[in-house]
Amino acid sequence: MNDNLKQKLKLPDIIPIFPLKGVVMFPDTYLPLNIFEPRYLKMIDKAISNENRLIGMIQPKNSNEKDDTLSLHKIGCAGKIVKFEETDDDRYLITLKGLIRFNLISEKANDQEFREANINWENFSNDLNTNLKSSDFSTLKITLKNFFKIKNIRANMDIIDTFNEYNFVDQITMICPLANNEKQLLLETTSILKRNKLLQTILDSYINEENISDLSKH
């Protein structure tokens, strides 16, 4: 990524990060968050005071670790605060718009007890390409419907057919009950076409596993 583009987008080298297991965010998607822990309220205060209003979402490697000893994955996604609301019980309701993924170089807790990270944007400059066209997700949609059925997830199947956004696969990854490591693998897959194939494979594996389980019961 050239420095002019980086400056135009106001991409800093250090951003506050929010470690959250089971949650990934992709470029050009929206993530609502309910913030109530004191140190993360401070994190939001600092983020909205900056012109870029960026927060890095990143998954811990081991969900059993304590917060102050969490080891983090090396790839996350930065989102810009595009909606902010303060509740009567002192919570923040925010919405992040995913901007660009990043590589984590180093991180540490600051004097306000939330983490800040030194990050690098170079490997994901293509995330800023907004000229992508919609793809044919017909096969994925069929697989997704079967996945919802075996998982007993209530969903409007007809509405699924109407989704034509180019990043449909990313939106599905964010909301589907996939394993944390599967979501991380999808996040780390560079191109959206490869993510489409990978998500298809993951969903197929769940369906096949359920079919085998059903056969073994008879």
Question: What's the rounded Cα separation, in Å, for the pair 120 and 186?
Answer: 19
Cβ-contact 179, 22 below 8 angstroms: no
The dihedral sign for the CA sequence 184, 59, 108, 85: positive
**What single letter denotes the amino acid at residue 77?**
C
Of 138, 151, 192, which Cα lies nearest the Cα of 170? Answer: 192
Has residue 197 got a pLDDT over 90? Answer: yes
Average predicted confidence (pLDDT) for the chain: 88
Quote helix, strand, coil % in the chain, to nearest 5. 40, 25, 35
Quick check: helix, strand or coil at residue 14? strand
Question: What's the rounded Cα separation, in Å, for the pair 88 and 166?
Answer: 38
pTM summary value = 0.88
Q: CB neighbours (10 Å) of residue 152?
A: 6
Q: Domain 3-125 sits in which CATH superfamily?
A: LON domain-like (2.30.130.40)
Of 188, 200, 167, 169, which Cα lies nearest the Cα of 61? Answer: 188
Q: Which residues have C-beta within 8 Å of that of residue 6, sequence separation ≥ 6?
A: 121
Task: Name which of 18-22, 51-55, 64-68 the model is least confident about.
Answer: 64-68
Q: Is residue 99 very low, low, confident or very high in pLDDT (cuts 50, 70, 90)? A: very high
**What single letter denotes the amino acid at residue 118?**
N
Read off the DSSP letter of residue 60: B
Structure confidence by residue, pLDDT tens digits, 40-50: 999 999 999 99
Domain ranges, ordered by start, for the chain: 3-125, 138-216
